Chain A
């Protein structure tokens, strides 16, 4: 990363933010400030990119991020049941993180798995044809 930081300007900005998101689970104010300084952009320019994309977060996320698809093809296959099951199981609503930092629970737009609806992404992995029993098993296997 330090090597890339020497390259000034936009080119690697999104990549830097993606790496930071992957490594620490969020993009902190300090990181934004540091990045802006080292690549010669303003803080607002870096902040603008960090907050534009859905998968980048300026708030700390849990170790495991659940993203349930909320678009129509999944909705038609009762994705609401998936949301309710996870909500009950984890005790948090969409947009929240469990107090122990194990899970963050989000709703997301179409993840391109409409043939396996209802579907969700757990971190980077796709889980389709979800049922309450299946969700239980998937969540229990998470560290």
Chain B
């Protein structure tokens, strides 16, 4: 499947500091069109397009809007999730830097469809340098009179990976510790300050103006059966050309990492960030879509010089550090996994370690409160599946090392 620009169509083409360059590229025509439709018709169009959330979970966008619209209560909120904390993901940063206007237009359309008067952009604290550009863009849109029905505020995070999870994000906006909530209730029925709330990723929203202008039918023809449209990938790691690219859904992994990013001697690729799945080189022709593997669109390439256990240890270390600590399986599970992996990498593994890792993984994925704990064991389980020999070798070495140590004392 080819490269195609829907989300990134204005990036590097318009001047992100000047709204007039955006207006020249059909800017705000989609909003004008939406305001001429009923909110229900806008939602029906988005629903018919088959657009799914791009933050990682892939929930149908139109359905989310419909649920929130039908929830009782006059006060509703729209939140744009710009807390891009997933390791190896930087597509939202690229979008916010290069085309803030499409995002604001999309938020204006979404707010109209939901009848929300207040919207928030939750910007991660590490992206503070993007704040001025965003505020400037909002001011320019306001000055042109496009935001008569909506107030857009920016809330900054303070450094917490978990706040990318929607319920933790809402707690953070409410001024609290960003801890995941028990679900249900889901945000469309009871979200921010217990009001119906829609939370969309930056990239999801970026699709909305194009869908309205070209029609759901047009969008529906792009991509695979269950994954419509395009996906923006953040490519990094052992590649000659790291960066952001947009491919039609269902593109093959080798099209991205070999043809586009010029990677060589690939050992494995991690898709979707720290808790994403691992694709070994033997499966490099895997297609990427919601049906297979996608996540946030992070593509991190590891070449043959990299050690699998070193990678897994570092990744689980990240997840253990970022676990919010609310539920026991995630808080304790990530720590115990880290301890086992640490022993293994230090040459003190035990034969039963692999079994313990598998057991832990089952408990965590079944009983954790949110996606962090549920998916935390994926990199461990995937590397066990594809690179089992490296684990076995380390355990054998550990046994040998211990036998040497015990001989010293005899």
The total of Cβ contacts below 8 Å across the A-B interface reads: 118
Contact partners of B246 in chain A: CB under 8 A: none
| Complex Cα spacing A52 to B236, Å | 29
| Complex Cα spacing A73 to B392, Å | 26
Given A72-B87, A114-B236, is A11 in contact with B175 using a C-beta cutoff of 8 Å?
Answer: yes
Determine whether the beta carbon of A114 is less than 8 Å from that of B90: yes
Determine whether the beta carbon of B126 is less than 8 Å from that of A10: no
- Any chain A CB within 8 A of the CB of B138? no
- Any chain B CB within 8 A of the CB of A125? yes
Given A10-B176, A71-B318, is A112 in contact with B124 using a C-beta cutoff of 8 Å?
Answer: yes
Determine whether the beta carbon of B321 is less than 8 Å from that of A109: yes
Contact partners of A75 in chain B: CB under 8 A: 314
| Complex Cα spacing A11 to B161, Å | 21
Q: Which of A10-25 contact B (CB under 8 A)?
A: 10-15, 17-18, 21
- Any chain B CB within 8 A of the CB of A48? yes
- Any chain B CB within 8 A of the CB of A54? yes
- Any chain A CB within 8 A of the CB of B191? no
Binds A, one of B151-159, B334-342, B382-390: B151-159
Residue in B124, B175, B237 whose beta carbon sits within 8 Å of that of A72 in the complex: B237
Q: Which of B89, B242, B311, B322 has the most CB of A within 10 A?
A: B242
Residue in B178, B244, B322 whose beta carbon sits within 8 Å of that of A115 in the complex: B244
Q: Using C-beta atoms within 8 Å of the partner chain, give the interface range for chain B.
A: 35 or more
A23 CB to nearest chain B CB (Å): 14
**Nearest residue, chain A, Cβ from B243:** A115
Determine whether the beta carbon of B90 is less than 8 Å from that of A112: yes
Q: Which of A11, A17, A56, A109 has the most CB of B within 10 A?
A: A109
How many residues on the A side are at the interface (Cβ–Cβ under 8 A)? 35
**Interface code B164-176, partner A: CB below 8 Å = 1, 0 otherwise?**
0000000010111
Determine whether the beta carbon of B158 is less than 8 Å from that of A108: no
Q: Which of A40-77 contact B (CB under 8 A)?
A: 48-49, 52-56, 71-73, 75-76
- Any chain A CB within 8 A of the CB of B302? yes
Contact partners of B302 in chain A: CB under 8 A: 76
| Complex Cα spacing A14 to B394, Å | 45
- Any chain B CB within 8 A of the CB of A139? no
Q: Which of B158-200 contact A (CB under 8 A)?
A: 158-161, 172, 174-178
- Any chain B CB within 8 A of the CB of A92? no
Given A72-B311, A73-B300, is A117 in contact with B158 using a C-beta cutoff of 8 Å?
Answer: no
| Complex Cα spacing A84 to B122, Å | 34
- Any chain B CB within 8 A of the CB of A124? yes
**Nearest residue, chain A, Cβ from B238:** A76
Contact partners of A49 in chain B: CB under 8 A: 175-177
Contact partners of A14 in chain B: CB under 8 A: 158, 172, 175-176
Contact partners of B85 in chain A: CB under 8 A: 109-110, 112
- Any chain A CB within 8 A of the CB of B149? no
- Any chain A CB within 8 A of the CB of B125? yes
Contact partners of B311 in chain A: CB under 8 A: 72
| Complex Cα spacing A12 to B86, Å | 26
- Any chain B CB within 8 A of the CB of A121? yes
B330 CB to nearest chain A CB (Å): 15
Given A109-B87, A121-B126, is A76 in contact with B175 using a C-beta cutoff of 8 Å?
Answer: no
Determine whether the beta carbon of B178 is less than 8 Å from that of A52: yes
| Complex Cα spacing A10 to B84, Å | 24
**Interface code B79-113, partner A: CB below 8 Å = 1, 0 otherwise?**
00000111111101100000000000000000000
**Interface code B340-366, partner A: CB below 8 Å = 1, 0 otherwise?**
000000000000000000000000000
| Complex Cα spacing A53 to B172, Å | 10
A31 CB to nearest chain B CB (Å): 15
Contact partners of A56 in chain B: CB under 8 A: 158-159
Contact partners of B236 in chain A: CB under 8 A: 73, 76, 114-115, 117
Residue in A15, A109, A113 whose beta carbon sits within 8 Å of that of B322 in the complex: A109
Given A11-B174, A55-B159, is A115 in contact with B242 using a C-beta cutoff of 8 Å?
Answer: yes
Determine whether the beta carbon of B129 is less than 8 Å from that of A115: no
Contact partners of A9 in chain B: CB under 8 A: 175
- Any chain A CB within 8 A of the CB of B204? no
Given contacts A112-B85, A112-B127, could you give 8 more A-B pairs where the C-beta distance is less than 8 Å?
A: A13-B176, A14-B175, A18-B158, A54-B159, A72-B311, A76-B238, A108-B159, A124-B128
List 13 interface pairs A-B (beta carbons < 8 Å), by A numbering. A18-B156, A49-B175, A56-B159, A73-B300, A110-B88, A110-B318, A111-B126, A112-B85, A112-B93, A113-B90, A114-B234, A114-B242, A125-B129
What is the interface of chain A, defined by CB distance below 8 A to chain B?
Answer: 9-15, 17-18, 21, 48-49, 52-56, 71-73, 75-76, 108-115, 117, 121, 124-126
